[in-house]
Amino acid sequence: MKNIYKKAAFLLALGLTFASCENYLDDVPKGSKSPTTLADYEAFLRDEYTNHRVNIIGASLLLNDQYATLATLSSDRLTNANYMWDENADRIALKVSDETTFYASYQGISTFNLLIESVLNSTKATEEEKRVVWAEAKVLRAMNYFNLVNFYADTYVASTAATKLSVPLITSANINAPSKQVTIQELYDFILNDVKEALPYLPKVSQTALHPNLGTGYAFYSRVYLQMNNYTEALKYADLALAENNKLYDWVGYYNTNKAIIDVPNSYTATTSPMGFNYVENYNYRHGITNNLSTENSIPVERAQRFETGDARFISRWKIYTVGAETYYRRTLSGFFNLGGITTVEIYLIKAECLARAGQISDALGVLNTVRKTRILPASYQDISTTDQATALRAIYRTKNNELVNTLIPFADARRLNAEGVYKVSFTKTANGNTYTLSSDSHLWTMPFPQGATQNPGNGTITQNVDK
């Protein structure tokens, strides 16, 4: 694929020679280094910007989880199509340039393929140490494929997964590696098998926040099984993940510590994001839309209204702001944001949904309220209490969408629920006197491949999964 060629050129520029590459790469340029030791290979897992980018901006715009300015909507037709839910827009034609979501994901996959292929033959390490890095690369590769299939293909439905196409599957770092656009079922089977093979070798404690540990493996398994509507397995692995890490961050405490800054009217002085590498909720850390030390996305007024009253996490992150004709909630945190990895709060809420699906409503709400107590200010807090399954599930979904805003998960969940047909997700808004709607069965829920991929598919072919 095109990105593999890009990556090969980049690596050549660094003078790196990989065991899986062609013979013409065998001669290492003078002054350059060929990776041979385990430390050489493991360093790729620490390449944060290149191999841990999880850009899902199209999904975030579709959900209106981030604010798009009037200037952006006027100048960027693709952003306008997603943000304003334009059913008539030809998004395929509008994707005339490379898309980070696609290329960064496959760039990471190329690196992880290299490690999986080569690290077991590395030097200066025990077999056990080499197998750990091999397993970590397996999990990260599986995570990238999960993101891709839940962005560019239809959501998983057991009755159709074996007949619908997903994304190209590449398992080699060789720049001439063949690719096959496999079915959704084949890709999910591949993802599950990667994690299954990795689990026995994942360490309980990570080398860094970028390295998946055993808790990450269990948590990701839970995420995948939930997306497949397998609530029994999702609950099983949620419990295993929470046995490894069940910490929740005290956002009420964060607000109380910083309220002298947060509560100043019309002041947008930033406080420091706690959601970085040392966030207690992390299983593993990966960048999302925000790639560097900076502030996160602002959000629309309509989106802000879906947070609970007294949500300290919301109050600490955004504040209403008006400039000219535009009003939105401006970001007020500065720092790092784990929007691409996995955190404990997601797993708590997966567990809550699985319990509710099994009819264990009281237990499900106990899990949900455990999360909410660390988020909702005491003056506004009340336990959610109901015996109705639908009411409980909607409360769980509301909290989960708010907790994981600007990650892929609300998008993936909405697609899953729309396919199920019971708890459908749709949106309506008014702008400039017009009403806009994103229906639950809209084709906009599946993103088209960028033209660069379909026109330059490398050693394979790519068929679009949407008509426009």
Helix (H, G, I), strand (E, B) or coil at 77: helix
pLDDT of the residue at 6: 45
Helix (H, G, I), strand (E, B) or coil at 28: coil
CA distance 219 to 344: 8
Binned at pLDDT 50, 70 and 90, residue 97 comes out as confident
Say how many Å lie between the first and final Cα of the chain, rounded: 22
Domain extents in the chain: 2-228+444-455, 251-305+314-335, 342-434
- Residue reference for tokens 């379909």: 454
Per-residue pLDDT tens over the stretch 37-48: 999 999 999 998
Which helix (H) or strand (E) element contains residue 295? Answer: strand 294-295
pLDDT of the residue at 18: 34
CA distance 201 to 114: 18
CA distance 234 to 183: 22
Q: Which residues contact 232 (CB under 8 A, 6 or more apart)?
A: 354
Assigned token pair, 321: 């702001």
Binned at pLDDT 50, 70 and 90, residue 96 comes out as confident
Contact yes or no for 244/302 (Cβ under 8 A): no
Which helix (H) or strand (E) element contains residue 51? Answer: helix 48-51
Residue 199 reports pLDDT greater than 50: yes
Q: What is the mean pLDDT of residues 404-412?
A: 97
pLDDT of the residue at 289: 64
Residue 379 reports pLDDT greater than 80: yes
Residue 209 reports pLDDT greater than 50: yes
Per-residue pLDDT tens over the stretch 15-33: 333 333 333 234 444 555 6
Helix (H, G, I), strand (E, B) or coil at 396: helix
Domain 2-228+444-455 has CATH 3.20.20.370: no
Residue 467 reports pLDDT greater than 70: yes
Higher-pLDDT residue of 287 and 146 is 146
Looking from the CA of 244 toward its CB, the CA atoms found within 13 Å total 25
Contact yes or no for 187/149 (Cβ under 8 A): yes
- Measured in degrees and rounded to the nearest 5, phi and psi for residue 399 equal -65, -40
Which DSSP symbol is given to 97?
S
Q: What whole-number percentage of the chain has pLDDT above 70?
A: 91
